Amino acid sequence: MTARQQPLRFGLVGTGYWAQVTHAPALASTEGIEFAAVWGRNPDAARSLATTYQATAHSDVSAFLADVDAVAFAVPPDVQNAIAIRAAGAGKHLLLEKPVGTSVAEAERLARTVRQARVASVVFFTARFRPDVRAWLADVTSRNGWAGGWAIWLGSSLLESSPFNTPWRRDKGSLWDLAPHAVSLLWAALGPVASVTADAGRDDVTHLVLHHESEATSAITVTLSAPEGAERLDLEVWGDPGRSAMPAGPSQPVTALRTALAELARNARTGHLGHPCDVHFGSEMTRILAAADRKLTRVRRTRLASR
């Protein structure tokens, strides 16, 4: 390799289940990337994960950032946002999880810092990096006349036995965890989302209606509270060309994350910083989710007042 082609040194922020089963394996197996460092809120877990992959564990964020060229995140949104702003300000490229912030102000501050620092960014909307889904989206967007679409994601992450039953998911629910994936896919298929309408069901059941700039509309139902037997993920668009369903293949998150990492690394090396799933798209996603959250809050308050 030439000096310009040396592997990008990546650090991982996070040591939990998703970091262990997805981020660490992908970082360790993506060409052109060196998995160099780990920082976590639990120092013992950081040392353990780093040892497994012959990386360096750091207890100090500044030392961690000084040791890497880029940072991958696998932590709750509030933890990610603060460290990502600091990392971008230090000139580090960012592989982010969604959402990039749980308020418009948080998301916009991160996007602004990334823009000013001229660093590359990618937000890991998992399905957007699957080759079968990309082929489907290419086919959908090559044809005109789509009038709308829908998505249903019935998840069971809030079951006691789920490794994804974490405090931030219990606090923020399906709107902030699952809906970003569905909105991202319908946005890519039907065009940018101009506005959103929202309603709430029992537990964290959330219903969204997206109004796209193309004048198409789409509907989303998501929950993290479904029983295991009811789990389901389906997404479809419809219109003049007929109906077209997103492939139902396995998610293969490690493979998808390798693609995201490779694209981030390419952008970092070439200076071509834009990406369909960059932090600016992530900030727009937060705008939609925050608007939906405000409407859901009003719905729930009205229902409580009427009891």
pLDDT digit string, tens, across residues 182-218: 999 999 999 999 999 999 999 999 999 999 999 999 9
pLDDT tens string 141-173: 999 999 999 999 999 999 999 999 999 999 999
**Domains of the chain, first to last:** 3-127+254-276 (3.40.50.720), 131-249 (3.30.360.10)
Per residue in 93-142, pLDDT tens? 999 999 999 999 999 999 999 999 999 999 999 999 999 999 999 999 99
Count Cβ atoms below 10 Å from residue 293 Cβ, excluding itself. Answer: 21
Question: Rounded to whole angstroms, how far apart are CA atoms 103 and 283?
Answer: 9
Residue 4 pLDDT > 60: no
Burial pattern 106-136, b for ≥16 Cβ within 10 A else e, equals bbbbbbebbeebebbbbbbbbbbbbeebeeb
Cβ(180)–Cβ(155) below 8 Å: no
Question: Which H/E stretch holds residue 171?
Answer: helix 167-177
